[in-house]
């Protein structure tokens, strides 16, 4: 049996269309639009590409985009001053500091300085804290893990009462993904680099979210037949048949996994497109809170 492919591109486009329609309605009703500010420190090419595509996505959705690029040697005080200015700007409803930042800047301090009501990445301790508490609602949820859940829900894959395994426990993906699954009443196990028997644990799962940054680690033989596999990983694998000499693969060995799973996300075209779509959705929700019902 070949798994059904979860088309992240199509689902992300549906989310982006919904956001664009809501932004159009907001402009018509209030004369105002959501605003997203992106702060980039340094000259990393990959970060510059991500920031460019975030700005383009904002434009397409009718979201105002603001941006500040600081040099590699910017001081922490300079970064904090930019964050403070966006915190005070009523036209900005979401502030995103592109990670990773240069080593001399304390990431925790900068992320903690973002007004939690504009914390569109959902990394502020108050938002993560609320995410982890029963009966509390975070204002924002990190984009990539929220995108994973949207993929499951919009594909009609049940979560409540199911057994879910998240491979990876980073603050950005694994841990918030596990918290989101638990909030939706899955029974969740987290596998990490010190877990001695990851295969055995994964084989129990109805839902596997792989976010370990290890190329093609999760094999078909690790999976329970019919399970849903969400592959967050993005890894460059040497491939001389490609013009650029490599192709992108996930943290799951796609071919063997697709033979066993019931549903699977491809790489690219799975989780990747969802991250930006959810960023737009988070920004819109920030603006909706700011402008009132
Ligand atoms: P990190 O490197 O921050 O975290 C990796 C996690 O995986 C850690 O918790 C680590 O465990 C765990 N891990 C590492 N090796 C193993 C192993 N052999 N077995 C089990 N667990 C292991 O990565 P991120 O969470 O930031 O990203 C994960 C993947 O997702 C990467 O491939 C990244 O490129 C991709 N990504 C994709 C995004 C998208 O938009 N599609 C967005 C963000 C990330 P420990 O805690 O013990 O060290």
pLDDT tens-digit series, residues 89-107:
999 999 999 999 999 999 9
Catalytic residue among 54, 162, 231, 281: 54
**Secondary structure letter of residue 218 according to DSSP:** B
Residue corresponding to tokens 């000259």: 43
**Distance between Cα 168 and ligand 1 center (Å):** 5
Q: What's the confidence (pLDDT) of residue 292?
A: 74
98 is catalytic: yes
Catalytic residue among 7, 22, 98, 251: 98
Q: What's the confidence (pLDDT) of residue 121?
A: 96
Over residues 75-94, the mean pLDDT reads: 98
251 is catalytic: no
CA nearest to 144, candidates 99, 101, 87: 99
Is the pLDDT score of 1 beyond 90?
Answer: no
CA nearest to 252, candidates 210, 288, 221: 210
Atom in ligand 1 nearest the alpha carbon of residue 271: 41
Q: What's the confidence (pLDDT) of residue 261?
A: 98
**233 touches 170 (CB < 8 A):** no
d(CA 206, CA 184): 14
Q: Could you read off the pLDDT of 218-270 as tens digits, one per residue?
A: 999 999 999 999 999 999 999 999 999 999 999 999 999 999 999 999 999 99
Residue corresponding to tokens 């919904």: 18
Atom in ligand 1 nearest the alpha carbon of residue 194: 47
Is the pLDDT score of 293 beyond 80?
Answer: no
pLDDT-derived band of residue 195, with 50, 70 and 90 as boundaries? Answer: very high
Q: Could you read off the pLDDT of 23-61 as tens digits, one per residue?
A: 999 999 999 999 999 999 999 999 999 999 999 999 999
Domains delineated in the chain: 31-120 (3.40.50.10860), 143-272 (3.40.50.720)
d(CA 175, CA 45): 27
Which tokens in the block code for residue 238?
């040497």
Over residues 174-194, the mean pLDDT reads: 98
Atom 19 of ligand 1, residue of closest alpha carbon: 193
Is the pLDDT score of 7 beyond 90?
Answer: yes
Percent of the chain scoring above 90 in pLDDT: 99
Catalytic residue among 121, 206, 231, 251: 121
Atom 17 of ligand 1, residue of closest alpha carbon: 193
């Amino acid at each position: 049996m070949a798994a059904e492919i979860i088309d992240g591109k199509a689902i992300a486009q549906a989310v982006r269309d919904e956001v664009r329609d809501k932004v159009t309605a907001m402009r018509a009703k209030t004369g105002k639009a959501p605003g997203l500010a992106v702060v980039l420190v340094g000259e990393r090419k990959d970060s510059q590409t991500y920031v460019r595509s975030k700005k383009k996505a904002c434009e397409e959705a009718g979201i105002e985009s603001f941006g500040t690029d600081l040099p590699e040697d910017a001081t922490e005080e300079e970064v904090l001053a930019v964050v403070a200015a966006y915190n005070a700007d009523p036209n900005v409803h979401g502030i995103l500091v592109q990670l990773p930042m240069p080593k001399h800047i304390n990431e925790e301090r900068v992320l903690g300085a973002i007004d939690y009501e504009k914390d569109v990445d959902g990394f502020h301790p108050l938002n993560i804290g609320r995410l982890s508490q029963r009966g509390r609602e975070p204002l924002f949820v990190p984009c990539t893990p929220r995108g994973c859940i949207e993929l499951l829900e919009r594909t009609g894959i049940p979560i409540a009462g199911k057994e879910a395994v998240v491979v990876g426990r980073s603050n950005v993906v694994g841990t918030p993904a596990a918290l989101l699954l638990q909030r939706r009443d899955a029974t969740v196990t987290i596998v990490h680099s010190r877990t001695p028997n990851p295969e055995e644990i994964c084989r129990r799962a109805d839902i596997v979210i792989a976010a370990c940054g290890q190329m093609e680690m999760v094999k078909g033989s690790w999976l329970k037949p019919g399970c849903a596999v969400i592959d967050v990983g993005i890894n460059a694998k040497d491939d001389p048949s490609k013009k650029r000499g490599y192709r992108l693969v996930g943290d799951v060995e796609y071919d063997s996994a697709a033979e066993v799973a019931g549903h699977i996300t491809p790489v690219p075209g799975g989780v990747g497109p969802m991250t930006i779509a959810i960023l737009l959705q988070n920004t819109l929700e920030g603006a909706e809170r700011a402008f009132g019902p």
